[in-house]
Structure 1
């Protein structure tokens, strides 16, 4: 049997990615020097990364990527950077009682970071035990994974840019790739530039509020840390109380930036290019804003009237308090719909009616071409239009009715792809829910059906928090290592839209 996939070419470029990963590892070293934290975990990881990367590069000096090699390269690259990203956690916790000294916990946290999931094994005490440098690396992994590691490599490396279209198609969140310029490398640079500018503006605003006395505990470190995790819709926070630890103005400021992060970044380039009409006419964007507005109004009414009351504590009382009801509902809907995962209130304490609204928001997801997770708004649009067409053709079988988005006809192959992806997404989600529930019962860990359900959905959808013990101020630490490995796999395939990873497990990929 002869392999038709040139795995050496793929792994050689994985080595290149790992070598360049050593550059952002310098940032936590700088933080360590500022706060007098140990630098060894990061220095050792840099040395290891360069050595492994250089060794892999020698497998194929001049790699040539076709579609199969591109999918293999993208899938293995994301797994490899997550493994490397876990090394500083293990080294920093070695010989201590640190949660992250366990390699499975470290890999869970690293995969959650790079895939911008935001699920964590760190509780309040664990967060306090880790150094500023380790926590900054944790934040930075989400920023690197937000716009996409491969997109960044395409933007800076000509040898990868040659196969850029195949690579972005395998990595980008959503069913379609929108080229902004004739050259794919230029498109990658534009996307990362827009991403960087929004991050910088957000950090400046947060720190500005601190200087004006409007956000007393939002110092420069916290401003940078939250800038690194808001635009990638990541949700990691060095604060145990997440964004609830900060003033109302910080919470309100986070909302528009989470909405921006869940929007197709190509649309912002059209605004900068003087084509703002393409922004407002985009059918996916209109549906995205409508979903946010509708769910927010519904939840705000529930919180204000007491149908879904928030208990005293984090977030405060909402019943009869207009501003707090609107702020809590807006923040939580935007955070979960875009898969950011931040929290200003412990929604685990809300009644079931409020949780159902939040669960619906988790299923929607962000836009294609955004940093958001989930199924994606454009897929739901196509599915709803497809179902409406099926009802129409049932009574008018002689008529042909194409599905249109923004005035353009959607190709039938694209429709089948959307239906296939959504069915596969729901099927894997259901199987994973069952596996997590059975594995937890094996060790005697009490897990409610809702908790098992939300653990699977939160990881494959790259959302982060779930319900019950997995709420916004809880953690995934109590799960057995086997369940954590299942959820690591879910985060990996969820970030890459399932197909590029699962196809590696088929024989036809390698031999036909």
Structure 2
């Protein structure tokens, strides 16, 4: 049987995207010219190499509009090759632990998939050039709304098949078509994304110049904006957001909430349709989860700290605001899969940590930059469970699952159950493989909680876990083979499993 996929068209489209992605290297080049020029030639060479590679791939075949199979192949290839290209500056710069090819690929994939897991041992502008650190931040901002969505917004050649590409990049209940042209929809999403990014950068900079956060410079404001809105979590500070004042921590929380919200709703708000956003069932469920989990952790943190200082009434009273702030920050950070840390939650009590582990499996809203299983899927699952309980008592009843007053197709409900089950299967298999690999190497001291949360954090694109991969730790203790496995988990998690696994089936290529 002959191959049924026009792989040449997929490769050609991937090359076109790579060629235009090279423009992004102008940002670190500008930073290099502004500061030390330490790695200027690194980014000039990488930019030239990316343009050349993209042009060569583009010549493989005609860049025709993709069908469903070509879209899956093109999206999978794009995210892999973009990560390879993004790794080149780390290797060429040759500084720190990210200089090795495996570590560079890990850091690059973590950046573009907005995971935020790191293998950098020394995270600072003293150990690495400012331009390299800014590139690390920029990879997350580019990957947040999606490389392919950006390509659809910019390249008119992709407009006809753009819906196929956007569906393959974010499968399941996701982005709806806002305008007659899919390219206009992609532009609207990116404009909202850019608008919120500018607002956050300005706010953080103003906090710095006002004296409320003297450690927040213009560089820091831009760098942290690049990793907040994409729910990425990379920071040029070794201790993440703990390095900044309470004012910065409170300021970042609403932007993480926004980044985990369906960006389609902001379009409705801008067009005057407030009711669509206010009455959206997923938004209400999302807000309820954030509020309830934050309240639980706030109480746990307050009680834990109050027990330590039970004799000092004044000290106990002063624990209220920090408990609320750190609880809200970490819950929002984990649920939206941002992965920032306002403190080392690896030292929290076990009950508080259990809540964080539970939050790792929730995820942001559909159509957001957040990863994970997604709120809409959990909402549908809960509604379908309630439906099953009702029909158990009333077997003659016909009761469809409804969202926003509309009945969901049963195929969509089954698809959500299938995805969720497959997600946990991949999670369990990934954890088992990491455990086997750790046992094979032996003597590296990776505890169970580290294995479990490392898998959850990379598959869910969250970043930090607990134990050795806690918010102040890194993934360097894992053997190189485990790090490559986690590169695959990040890739699979960002594309929500199906577009990657379908490439491994015979039916995709032959039937």
Shift of 1:310: 9.7
Q: Distance in 2 between matches of 1:413 and 1:457?
A: 27
Match of 2:67 in 1: 66
Q: Distance in 2 between matches of 1:66 and 1:429?
A: 30
Q: Does 1:476 align with 2:475?
A: yes
Residue from 423, 426, 451 that aligns with 1:425: 423
Q: Report how many residues are paired.
A: 504
Please state whether the residue corresponding to 1:129 is helix, strand or coil.
coil
Match of 2:112 in 1: 114
Q: Measured at CA, do residues 279 and 308 of structure 1 come closer, stay the same or move farther in structure 2, by a change above 3 Å?
A: farther
Q: Does 1:18 align with 2:18?
A: yes
Offset from partner CA, 1:175-226 (integer Å, 9 cap, x none) = 2331111111000000000000000000000001111111111101000000
Match of 2:78 in 1: 77
Q: Distance in 1 between matches of 2:307 and 2:5?
A: 56
Shift of 1:61: 3.0
For normalisation by structure 2, the TM-score amounts to: 0.96
Shift of 1:159: 1.1
Q: Measured at CA, do residues 379 and 307 of structure 1 come closer, stay the same or move farther in structure 2, by a change above 3 Å?
A: farther
Offset from partner CA, 1:444-464 (integer Å, 9 cap, x none) = 221111111000000000000
Q: Distance in 1 between matches of 2:366 and 2:291?
A: 19
Q: Distance in 1 between matches of 2:24 and 2:365?
A: 28
Q: Distance in 2 between matches of 1:211 and 1:255?
A: 20
Please state whether the residue corresponding to 1:371 is helix, strand or coil.
coil
8 Å CA contact retained: 2:124, 2:238:
no
Q: Measured at CA, do residues 502 and 127 of structure 1 come closer, stay the same or move farther in structure 2, by a change above 3 Å?
A: farther
Shift of 1:63: 1.9
For normalisation by structure 1, the TM-score amounts to: 0.96
Please state whether the residue corresponding to 1:363 is helix, strand or coil.
coil
Match of 1:314 in 2: none
Q: Distance in 2 between matches of 1:145 and 1:57?
A: 22
Residue from 285, 288, 291 that aligns with 2:286: 288
Q: Measured at CA, do residues 40 and 364 of structure 1 come closer, stay the same or move farther in structure 2, by a change above 3 Å?
A: same
Q: Measured at CA, do residues 3 and 335 of structure 1 come closer, stay the same or move farther in structure 2, by a change above 3 Å?
A: same
Match of 2:503 in 1: 504
Shift of 1:86: 0.1
Shift of 1:399: 1.5
8 Å CA contact retained: 2:337, 2:364:
yes
Q: Distance in 1 between matches of 2:307 and 2:332?
A: 19
8 Å CA contact retained: 1:336, 1:463:
yes
Match of 1:348 in 2: 346
Q: Distance in 2 between matches of 1:38 and 1:51?
A: 20
Shift of 1:117: 0.3
Q: Measured at CA, do residues 105 and 309 of structure 1 come closer, stay the same or move farther in structure 2, by a change above 3 Å?
A: farther
8 Å CA contact retained: 2:301, 2:323:
yes
Q: Distance in 2 between matches of 1:294 and 1:458?
A: 22
Q: Distance in 1 between matches of 2:308 and 2:480?
A: 33
Match of 2:187 in 1: 189
Please state whether the residue corresponding to 1:124 is helix, strand or coil.
coil
Q: Distance in 1 between matches of 2:184 and 2:365?
A: 22
Q: Does 1:92 align with 2:99?
A: no
Offset from partner CA, 1:275-313 (integer Å, 9 cap, x none) = 0111110000000000000001111011111189899xx
Q: Distance in 2 between matches of 1:283 and 1:310?
A: 41
Q: Distance in 2 between matches of 1:125 and 1:177?
A: 35
Deviates further, 200-209 or 32-41: 32-41
Deviates further, 302-311 or 400-409: 302-311
Offset from partner CA, 1:20-65 (integer Å, 9 cap, x none) = 1110111101111111222111111111111111111111234231
Deviates further, 170-179 or 440-449: 170-179
Q: Measured at CA, do residues 235 and 356 of structure 1 come closer, stay the same or move farther in structure 2, by a change above 3 Å?
A: same
Shift of 1:127: 6.4
Match of 1:2 in 2: 2
Q: Distance in 1 between matches of 2:188 and 2:173?
A: 20
Q: List gaps (5 residues or longer) in structure 1.
A: 312-316
Offset from partner CA, 1:301-350 (integer Å, 9 cap, x none) = 11111189899xxxxx9886111011000100000010000001101011
Structure-to-structure mapping, 1:298-337, within 5 angstroms: 298-306=296-304, 321-337=319-335
Shift of 1:391: 1.8
Q: Distance in 2 between matches of 1:204 and 1:271?
A: 22
Match of 1:396 in 2: 394
Q: List gaps (5 residues or longer) in structure 2.
A: 310-314
8 Å CA contact retained: 2:330, 2:342:
yes
Structure-to-structure mapping, 1:21-420, within 5 angstroms: 21-36=21-36, 37-93=38-94, 98-124=96-122, 128-172=126-170, 174-306=172-304, 321-420=319-418
